[in-house]
Amino acid sequence: MLTAAQLASAPPEERKQMLGELLYPRILAVQPENAGKITGMLLEMDDSDLLGLLDEDEKKAKALDEKINEAMQVLSAQGPEESEDAE
């Protein structure tokens, strides 16, 4: 598990990469078709918030599910044409 200290010691450009590598498989398990887009959307959040979402705690897992659902609502609201253009 990635710790706050490990994240803080990483260069800024590597932080999002590290978080994305942990987020993506968890999102892929829930939303395989949109895992890349949702991961990108969530990576816009603050690093410390993302680190909290990656916690194995059941409440934190539920928080990640809620963020995934929010991202899906945004993608659905965009419609298929806008979603395609964003890639």
Q: What is the pLDDT of residue 87?
A: 46
Over range 42-68, report the average pLDDT: 88
pLDDT digits (tens, 9 = 90+) for 32-47: 999 999 999 999 999 9
Q: Is the pLDDT of residue 61 over 60?
A: yes
Q: Is the pLDDT of residue 9 over 80?
A: yes
Q: Is the pLDDT of residue 82 over 60?
A: no
| pTM, entire model | 0.81
CA separation (Å) from 14 to 23, 28, 43? 14, 21, 12
Q: How many other C-beta atoms can be found within 10 angstroms of the C-beta atom of residue 20?
A: 16
